[in-house]
Structure 1
Amino acid sequence: MPSTQNDLAFSQSMYDALVAIQEEMGEDNFEFVISENMFVVEDAATAIRDYATQGYDLVIAHGSQYGSSLQEIAPDFPETAFAWGTTVNTFADEGINNVYAYEARSEEGGYVNGVMAAMLTESNVIGVVGPIETGDAKLYVDGFKAGVAATKDDVEVLVNYIGSFSDQSLAATAAETMIADGADVLTGTAQMVPGAVNKAKEANAKWFGTQADQTSLAPEIVVASQVYDWTVVLKPIIEGVQAGTLGGEAFALTLENGGLVIAYNPDYELPDDVKAAADAAIEGIKDGSITVDVGEVTQ
Structure 2
Amino acid sequence: MKKTIAFLLSLIMTLSLLTACSTQKEPNSPNKGGNTSDPSNLKIGLVLTGSANDGGWNQMAADAASTVAAKYGCTVNFSESVATTDIENTIRGYADAGYDIVFAHGAELFDASKQVSKDYPDTKFINSCAFSGQEPNLTGVDFGAYELGFLNGLACAYATEAKKVGVIIAVESDSMLTWVEGIKDAVKYVDESIEVVVVATGSFDDPIKAKQATDAMASKGCDVITQNADACGNGAVEECDTLGLVNVGAVGDQSAYGESCFLSVIQDAHQGIAAAIDEAINGTLKPGPVVMGANANVVYLTGYTGKYANLLTDEEKATLQSVWQQAHDGVDLHTLTK
Query: Does the TM-score normalized on the shorter chain lie above 0.5?
Result: yes
Q: 1:236 to 1:288 in 2, by over 3 A?
A: closer
Q: 1:106 to 1:72 in 2, by over 3 A?
A: closer
> Which AA in structure 1 matches 2:146?
E
Per the normalisation by structure 2, the TM-score is 0.76
Give a deviation string over 1:255-291, Cα, whole Å, max 9, x none: 1221211122444523423322211221233346672
Tell me if the contact between 1:121 and 1:184 (Cα under 8 Å) persists in the aligned partners: yes
- Give the structure 1 partner of residue 194 of structure 2: 155
Give a deviation string over 1:140-169, Cα, whole Å, max 9, x none: 111112112211233222112334444433
Equivalent of 2:328 in 258, 264, 286: 286
Question: Within 2, Cα distance between the matches of 1:56 and 1:66?
Answer: 18
Aligned-pair identity (%): 25
- Give the structure 2 partner of residue 193 of structure 1: 233
Tell me if the contact between 1:101 and 1:251 (Cα under 8 Å) persists in the aligned partners: yes
What SS does the aligned partner of 1:182 have?
coil
Q: CA deviation at 1:134?
A: 2.1
Q: 1:153 to 1:13 in 2, by over 3 A?
A: same
- Give the structure 2 partner of residue 142 of structure 1: 181
Question: Within 2, Cα distance between the matches of 1:160 and 1:293?
Answer: 27
- Give the structure 1 partner of residue 49 of structure 2: 2
Q: CA deviation at 1:222?
A: 0.9
> Which AA in structure 1 matches 2:164?
V
Question: Within 2, Cα distance between the matches of 1:260 and 1:188?
Answer: 16
Structure 2: stretches of 5+ with no match in the other structure: 1-47
Runs of 4+ in 1 over 6 A off after TM superposition: none
What SS does the aligned partner of 1:32 have?
strand
Q: CA deviation at 1:200?
A: 1.2
Q: CA deviation at 1:293?
A: 5.8
> Which AA in structure 1 matches 2:93?
D
Q: CA deviation at 1:120?
A: 1.6
> Which AA in structure 2 matches 1:264?
G
Give a deviation string over 1:33-59, Cα, whole Å, max 9, x none: 211101x22322222222222222111
Tell me if the contact between 2:68 and 2:278 (Cα under 8 Å) persists in the aligned partners: no
Question: Within 2, Cα distance between the matches of 1:125 and 1:110?
Answer: 16
Tell me if the contact between 1:87 and 1:102 (Cα under 8 Å) persists in the aligned partners: yes
Q: 1:146 to 1:8 in 2, by over 3 A?
A: farther
- Give the structure 1 partner of residue 317 of structure 2: 275
Structure 1: stretches of 5+ with no match in the other structure: 295-299
Equivalent of 2:210 in 149, 153, 171: 171
Question: Within 2, Cα distance between the matches of 1:246 and 1:261?
Answer: 23
Q: CA deviation at 1:212?
A: 1.4
Q: CA deviation at 1:210?
A: 1.5
Tell me if the contact between 2:92 and 2:116 (Cα under 8 Å) persists in the aligned partners: yes
Q: CA deviation at 1:68?
A: 2.7
Q: 1:135 to 1:263 in 2, by over 3 A?
A: farther
Tell me if the contact between 1:9 and 1:210 (Cα under 8 Å) persists in the aligned partners: no
Tell me if the contact between 1:223 and 1:265 (Cα under 8 Å) persists in the aligned partners: yes
Give a deviation string over 1:25-80, Cα, whole Å, max 9, x none: 25x2x332211101x22322222222222222111111222223222322332222
Question: Within 1, Cα distance between the matches of 2:172 and 2:208?
Answer: 18
What SS does the aligned partner of 1:176 have?
helix
What SS does the aligned partner of 1:264 have?
coil
What SS does the aligned partner of 1:187 have?
strand
Tell me if the contact between 1:190 and 1:211 (Cα under 8 Å) persists in the aligned partners: no
Give the aligned CA root-mean-square deviation in angstroms.
2.5
- Give the structure 1 partner of residue 17 of structure 2: none
Question: Within 2, Cα distance between the matches of 1:232 and 1:188?
Answer: 21
Give a deviation string over 1:155-190, Cα, whole Å, max 9, x none: 222112334444433322221011112211100112
Residue 161 of structure 2 is aligned to residue 119 of structure 1: no
